[in-house]
């Protein structure tokens, strides 16, 4: 994925002035600049557009449908009643995410209604500017997942597919400093392949370290600060946070996706959701 639309609906032109206690102090220009800078680091081109008019938003989506590969949209009040905008998103058939600066589920009853949500991959609300950035990351993650599913893993073979996943994840997410896949061999996890600095931990007993704990407990683990977690087996002095996703089918664990970042508290539920979907595809290879 290379081309992304950022679409803002009615009244978002007044960001920074309109109810800053709810919508924040950043202007729309500042918000767009932050999104575009973030997207550029992920190798994306962005076209941003705002209008107070339903038809103008629909026209923009239609006009850009052959250029764009995904959409992040904050429909504003149109969220609650614009079936025309909903149908335009459905018609162009691009992966889309609905974003709201405020937590719409904690406000007036009418704001809890979205006629847009069912044609979007997900709704993100209440995170302010961060919600847009997470939407961008989620769409990139979906692109990785689609490439994995579209590559026909069964025909490629297990080893080639595992290498491809490591490469896709490392190259798609700048915040991923180290990406590796461990496979279960007896009572140990054995490092199959990785991208990043060499790790001294090529074999980890199940139950030891954060990696061993994820397999032993059969659940994903996110650690915001590895230096505060006594389970952490130091690989690099730069590492600050970690996410580990078991590759499993039913109750059987075959391995795990292990990702480190040099940034603290950088992993969130969207990372976990996409990585668990990738792990589910990989589990079929075993």
Catalytic, out of 100, 132, 138, 194: 100
- Note if 192 is an active site residue: no
**Antiparallel, parallel or unpaired: β 178-185 and 188-195:** antiparallel
Apex 206 CA angle, 201 and 209, nearest 5: 55
Spell out where the chain has E strands: 3-8, 45-50, 70-74, 96-100, 122-125, 178-185, 188-195, 203-205, 221-223, 241-249, 252-261
Catalytic, out of 8, 23, 138, 176: 23
Contact 28, 12 (CB under 8 A): yes
Contact 49, 6 (CB under 8 A): yes
Contacts 24+ apart (CB under 8 A), 252-255: 253/184, 253/215, 253/218, 254/183, 254/184, 254/282, 254/283, 254/286, 255/181, 255/182, 255/183, 255/184, 255/189, 255/192, 255/282, 255/286
Residue 105 is given by DSSP the state G
Contact 52, 11 (CB under 8 A): yes
Residue 227 is given by DSSP the state G
Cα distance between residue 6 and residue 131, in whole Å: 12
- Note if 176 is an active site residue: no
Cα distance between residue 16 and residue 30, in whole Å: 9
Catalytic positions, please? 23, 100
């Amino acid at each position: 994925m290379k081309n992304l639309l950022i679409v803002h609906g009615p009244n978002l032109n007044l960001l920074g002035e309109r109810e800053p206690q709810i919508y924040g102090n950043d202007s729309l220009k500042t918000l767009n600049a932050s999104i575009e800078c973030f997207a550029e680091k992920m190798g994306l081109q962005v076209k941003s557009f705002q209008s107070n008019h339903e038809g103008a938003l629909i026209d923009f989506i239609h006009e850009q449908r052959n250029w764009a590969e995904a959409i992040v949209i904050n429909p504003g009040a149109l969220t609650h009643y614009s079936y025309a905008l909903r149908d335009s998103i459905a018609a162009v058939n691009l992966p889309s995410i609905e974003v709201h600066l405020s937590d719409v589920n904690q406000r007036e009853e009418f704001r809890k209604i979205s006629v847009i949500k069912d044609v979007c991959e997900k709704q993100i609300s209440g995170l302010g500017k961060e919600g847009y950035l997470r939407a961008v990351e989620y769409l990139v993650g979906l692109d990785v997942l689609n490439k994995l599913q579209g590559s026909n893993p069964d025909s490629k073979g297990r080893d080639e597919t595992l290498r491809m996943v490591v490469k896709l994840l490392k190259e798609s997410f700048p915040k991923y400093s180290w990406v590796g896949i461990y496979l279960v061999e007896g009572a140990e996890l054995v490092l199959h392949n990785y991208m990043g600095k060499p790790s001294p931990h090529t074999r980890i007993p199940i139950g030891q370290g954060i990696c061993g704990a994820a397999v032993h407990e059969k659940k994903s683990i996110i650690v915001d600060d590895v230096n505060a977690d006594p389970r952490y087996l130091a690989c690099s002095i730069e590492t600050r946070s970690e996410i580990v996703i078991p590759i499993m089918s039913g109750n059987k664990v075959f391995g795990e996706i292990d990702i480190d970042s040099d940034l603290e508290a950088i992993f969130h539920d969207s990372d976990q959701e996409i990585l668990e979907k990738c792990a589910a595809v990989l589990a079929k290879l075993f």
